[in-house]
Amino acid sequence: MPLVNLGSMARIDKASPSSYPNRRAAFLAGCRESASTPALVLGASFLGFGSLCRQSGWTLPMSLASTTTGWALPGQITLIELYGIGASAAAILLAVWLSGLRLLPMTLSLMPFLRHPGTPRWRYYLAAHFIAITAWATCMQRCPLLPSEQRLPFFFGFVAVLWSFTMVATAAGFLMVDWLPPTVGLGLLFLNPVYFMLVFSVDLAQRARVLPLVLGAVSGPLFHLLTPDWSLLLTGLVAGTAAFLLERPLARWLEARSAAREPS
Cα distances (angstroms) measured from residue 77 to each of 24, 52, 110: 35, 9, 25
Extents of the domains making up the chain: 34-204, 206-263
Enumerate long-range contacts of 66-71, CB under 8 Å, 24 or more apart: 66/170, 67/166, 67/167, 67/170, 68/167, 70/96, 71/129, 71/130, 71/132, 71/163, 71/166
Give yes or no for a contact between 223 and 236, defined as CB atoms under 8 angstroms apart: no
Indicate the pTM of the whole model: 0.72
pLDDT score recorded for residue 29: 93
pLDDT score recorded for residue 191: 64
Q: Report residues of the chain scoring pLDDT below 50.
A: 1-15
Question: Measuring CA to CA, which residue among 147, 156, 75 is closest to residue 122?
Answer: 156
pLDDT score recorded for residue 17: 63
Question: Model confidence over 13-40: pLDDT tens digits?
Answer: 444 567 788 999 999 999 999 998 888 8
Cβ-count burial of 3 within 10 angstroms (0-12 exposed, 13-18 middle, 19+ buried)?
A: exposed
pLDDT score recorded for residue 146: 92
**Torsional class of 86: left (φ above 0), alpha (ψ -120 to 50), beta (otherwise):** left
Give yes or no for a contact between 114 and 127, defined as CB atoms under 8 angstroms apart: yes
pLDDT score recorded for residue 42: 84
pLDDT score recorded for residue 51: 85
Q: Measured at the alpha carbon of residue 206, what is the angle toward residues 204 and 208, in degrees to the nearest 5?
A: 110
Measured over the CA atoms of residue 50, residue 157, residue 209 and residue 124, the dihedral's sign is negative
- Which residues have C-beta within 8 Å of that of residue 141, sequence separation ≥ 6? 12, 13, 202, 203
Give CA–CA dist 123/102, Å, rounded: 22
